[in-house]
Amino acid sequence: MHPHNFGAGPSILPRQVFEEASKALIDFNGSGLSILEIGHRTKTFQSVMDETRALVKELMQLDANHEVLFLHGGASTQFFQVPMNLLPPAATAAYTDTGIWAAKAIKEAGLFGKVNTACSSKSTGYNHLPKELELKNDPVYLHLTTNNTIYGTQWQDLSVFYNTGLPLVADMSSDILSRKMDYNKYDLIYAGAQKNIGAAGVNLVVLKKGILGKTGRELPSMLDYRNHIEAGSMLNTPPVFSIFVCLLTLRWLKAQGGVEAMEKINGQKASLFYETLDALPVFKGTVAKEDRSKMNAVFVLENPKAETEFLELCEKEGMFGVKGHRTTGGFRVSMYNALPMESVQAITAVMRYFAQTKL
Amino acid sequence: MHPHNFGAGPSILPRQVFEEASKALIDFNGSGLSILEIGHRTKTFQSVMDETRALVKELMQLDANHEVLFLHGGASTQFFQVPMNLLPPAATAAYTDTGIWAAKAIKEAGLFGKVNTACSSKSTGYNHLPKELELKNDPVYLHLTTNNTIYGTQWQDLSVFYNTGLPLVADMSSDILSRKMDYNKYDLIYAGAQKNIGAAGVNLVVLKKGILGKTGRELPSMLDYRNHIEAGSMLNTPPVFSIFVCLLTLRWLKAQGGVEAMEKINGQKASLFYETLDALPVFKGTVAKEDRSKMNAVFVLENPKAETEFLELCEKEGMFGVKGHRTTGGFRVSMYNALPMESVQAITAVMRYFAQTKL
């Protein structure tokens, strides 16, 4: 039996993606060659790259102004690449400080220009999302993290950002393609692939070409988005296999009914989970209810001494990755696109059983 | 039947690596989970990372001063990361200009400090390796490309570099672990994995810690080698699967008898290939004989009009990746570690057959 995998990333992908990727490692599309040994400049791989980028455009319903890139690295790479490409030395960028990853993005931006912290929930341990933004010094862009993986908060209403009229840059690593959203409202979106899109080792970057080339900064070739756009996301040898896994995952996502269908099932999974959590007094959610993430549910036990006992029960029942992030402790149940409803049913059953034994 | 794969990269890996990787995509080490869905902070993946780094140290016989990192990207990423970390703004680095990749490394270094071209074979189309170096302005390091993948040249005698007494930095992307070499003589070695080590999307970087932190430059966190060393090559989510494929390939390499055994068989493969080439007047090698690469053999036809005919024959006989790089034309037969002797026997047979039909 496949364990229920609630890991936060690298995380569960659709079963059929594992199976198709496994086959392609032996024989890719009847070529007799493994996907790992095919040159990236071959027609065979070019068609993988083309279809993957086209599927992103289709699933995100991007307009003609948006380019799609698959770049080496993870979101941490984008933390510096974004300001390096977008923030002139004397200019200001506004950042929302809503978690550890957001704070890391702020630190990197400070190397390239001025940073205005538009809002912060740091003083209360990032347990909610601030409802107001303070914008000053005419920021050239506003950066947000749509879902905070470690704390389990997610911006449910993005209009506070849309209303600023500022160019928006978003780290969507942990909730991209999990809900309907007007992706065209963003000048730049980035996401490490290893949660909702595919395998670790590649970044999805979606951006408007028109925002580039305004910093006066001379960039290393590999860090200049313009070079990657010009080269069709093939400036150097790309992370071939990671991109292929993205292709398989995106095909699956489309077959499920796309983002709209994902939003529906993700809503059902989150409802079941949080309703169970709220009905069981032995457990306690750690963030403001209105800001709860549909991707990562973070919670603790009223009696922290029983933590090990709960984790052991989870392990015994074939639940993987329930332990919380090392900075928050407690538990985290991640419910990315590929996590089936059955897994949420299974863990909520375990939670109910545990609650009963504690009565 | 598996085709004979002479592609220059991504390129052939050992058959058992494909098979083991294929299995791990369904069930990694009996966990019931795919290698793609296992968090990088788990004990399971930590042991993959530890064993991979330890195998590099063992196979390269590195001393205690050398650190082993697996970083996102390819050699093109190292072209800028090396000078960013090692070259102070007012200082000079010496570079050998022996091919397109070497020239790209020079271009990136120029963004960070001064570059002294220590030697160049550009004026003759990179058809040989210069035998003398001109070093001036007290360079902080000397950069070389041990094997030039596109042109098919390889430094057979590295003493010209060792004799300079300068700190050495080497791009070994296309011949690392293919021959005996005193790897400890280098302050920094880098290699895109997708030729002799594993899958695309990861770089092997071997370096001495003592050379870092001397530029006065403030670096983005992800670009500072010191942070990666401190984090045990796990500063952010690493390219999990690409590293796992490196592990499988390095295990295979060790089982074959390590670098010494590789050097022997690679010598035999190259001898058979070049002896055949030199014996058939319809073909012509393009580089100086003493600089010929044992990894990439580049050649043309005396009568270029017959090129398509030869390529069609190769394809018919199940030979993949024989077409030369787009900048050189002609043909290229890559003979990396994983290419079996049988494949060299097969292509030389095809060459002999083709030569006969042209008599």
Write the DSSP string, B230-288: HTTT-SS---HHHHHHHHHHHHHHHHHTHHHHHHHHHHHHHHHHHHHHHH-TTEEE-S-
pLDDT at B2: 80
| Angle between the N-to-C axes of helices B100-109 and B75-86, in degrees from 0 to 180, rounded to the nearest 10 | 30
Q: How confident is the model at residue A2 (pLDDT cuts 50, 70, 90)?
A: confident
Cα dihedral across residues A189, A192, A194, A195: positive or negative: negative
To the query of whether residue A122 is one of the catalytic residues in this protein, the response is no
Distance between CA atoms of residues B222 and B230, nearest Å: 12
Task: Look over chain A and give the mean of its residue pLDDT values, rounded to a whole number.
Answer: 97
Residue A231 in contact with partner chain B when CB distance is under 8 A: no
Q: How confident is the model at residue A179 (pLDDT cuts 50, 70, 90)?
A: very high
A213, exposed or middle or buried, with CB in 10 Å at 0-12, 13-18, 19+? middle
Q: What is the pLDDT of residues B324-340, one digit of tens each?
A: 998 888 999 999 999 99
Percent of chain A with pLDDT over 70: 99
- Residue B134's SS3 state is coil
Contacts 24+ apart (CB under 8 A), B226-234: B228/B69, B228/B71, B229/B67, B229/B69, B232/B49, B233/B49, B233/B53, B233/B68, B233/B69, B233/B70, B233/B71, B234/B40, B234/B41, B234/B49
Tell me what the mean pLDDT of segment A347-358 comes to: 95
pLDDT at A350: 98
Distance between CA atoms of residues A325 and A6, nearest Å: 12
Q: What is the pLDDT of residues B168-211, one digit of tens each?
A: 999 999 999 999 999 999 999 999 999 999 999 999 999 999 99
Strand (E) or helix (H) holding A357 = helix A341-357
Closest partner residue to A199 (CB to CB) among B13, B36, B75 is B36
pLDDT at A359 over 80: no
To the query of whether residue A101 is one of the catalytic residues in this protein, the response is yes
Contact B25 A26 (CB under 8 A): no
Q: What are the residue ranges of CATH 3.90.1150.10 in chain B?
A: 258-357
Residue A29: closest CA among A247, A282, A253: A247
Interface residue of B72, B233, B343 to substitute, partner A, most A CBs within 10 Å: B72
- Residue A202's SS3 state is strand
Q: In chain B, what residues touch A23 (CB-CB under 8 Å)?
A: 22
* Cis peptide bond prior to A220, omega within 30° of 0: no
Residue B220 in contact with partner chain A when CB distance is under 8 A: yes
Q: In chain A, what residues touch B77 (CB-CB under 8 Å)?
A: 72, 222, 236
Residue A68: closest CA among A191, A167, A239: A191
Contact A73 B40 (CB under 8 A): no
pLDDT at A358: 79
Q: In chain B, what residues touch A235 (CB-CB under 8 Å)?
A: 76
Q: In chain A, what residues touch B73 (CB-CB under 8 Å)?
A: 72-73, 222, 236
pLDDT at A1 over 70: no
In this structure, are residues B71 and B189 in contact, taking their beta carbons and an 8 Å threshold? no
To the query of whether residue B171 is one of the catalytic residues in this protein, the response is yes
Q: What is the pLDDT of residues B99-157, one digit of tens each?
A: 999 999 999 999 999 999 999 999 999 999 999 999 999 999 999 999 999 999 999 99
Distances (CA, A) of A224 to A86, A177, A219, A221, B105: 10, 26, 6, 6, 16
Active-site residue, selected from the candidate residues B97, B155, B171, B269: B171
- Residue B297's SS3 state is strand
Q: How confident is the model at residue A159 (pLDDT cuts 50, 70, 90)?
A: very high
Closest partner residue to B19 (CB to CB) among A21, A26, A38 is A26
Contact A200 B32 (CB under 8 A): no
Active-site residue, selected from the candidate residues A97, A175, A187, A195: A195
Q: What are the residue ranges of CATH 3.40.640.10 in chain B?
A: 15-255
- What residues have CB less than 8 Å from B28, skipping those under 6 apart? B34, B35, B38, B44
In this structure, are residues A62 and A56 in contact, taking their beta carbons and an 8 Å threshold? yes
Residues 66-95 of B with CB under 8 A from A: 72-77, 79-80, 84
Residues 119-178 of B with CB under 8 A from A: none
Shortest distance, CA A244 to any CA of chain B (angstroms): 12
Taking the CA atoms of chain B, what radius of gyration do you get in angstroms? Answer: 21
Write the DSSP string, A246-278: HHHHHHHHHHHTHHHHHHHHHHHHHHHHHHHHH
Shortest distance, CA B199 to any CA of chain A (angstroms): 6
Shortest distance, CA B74 to any CA of chain A (angstroms): 7
Active-site residue, selected from the candidate residues B97, B175, B187, B195: B195
Q: What is the pLDDT of residues B59-115, one digit of tens each?
A: 999 999 999 999 999 999 999 999 999 999 999 999 999 999 999 999 999 999 999
End-to-end CA distance of chain B: 31
In which residue are the tokens 């005419």 written? A138
- Look up residue A104 and give its two tokens: 């890391």
- Residue B32's SS3 state is coil
ipTM here: 0.97
Q: What is the pLDDT of residues B274-313, one digit of tens each?
A: 999 999 999 999 999 999 999 999 999 999 999 999 999 9
Residue A32 in contact with partner chain B when CB distance is under 8 A: yes
pLDDT at A66 over 80: yes
Residue A196 in contact with partner chain B when CB distance is under 8 A: no
Shortest distance, CA A317 to any CA of chain B (angstroms): 13
Shortest distance, CA B25 to any CA of chain A (angstroms): 6
End-to-end CA distance of chain A: 31
Distance between CA atoms of residues B350 and B355, nearest Å: 9
Residue A245 in contact with partner chain B when CB distance is under 8 A: yes
Task: Look over chain B and give the mean of its residue pLDDT values, rounded to a whole number.
Answer: 97
pLDDT at A333: 98
- Look up residue A243 and give its two tokens: 């991109």
In which residue are the tokens 């929930």 written? A121
pLDDT at B1 over 80: no
User: Residue A291, Cα to own-chain centre: how many angstroms?
Assistant: 17
Q: A15-255: what fold? A: Aspartate Aminotransferase; domain 2 (3.40.640)
Q: What is the pLDDT of residues A259-305, one digit of tens each?
A: 999 999 999 999 999 999 999 999 999 999 999 999 999 999 999 99
Q: In chain B, what residues touch A242 (CB-CB under 8 Å)?
A: 201, 239, 241-242
Tell me what the mean pLDDT of segment A177-189 comes to: 98
Q: What is the pTM of this model?
A: 0.97
- The CATH number of the structural domain formed by A258-357 is 3.90.1150.10
Using the CB atoms, write b or e for A152-163: b if 16+ within 10 Å. Answer: bbbbeebebbee
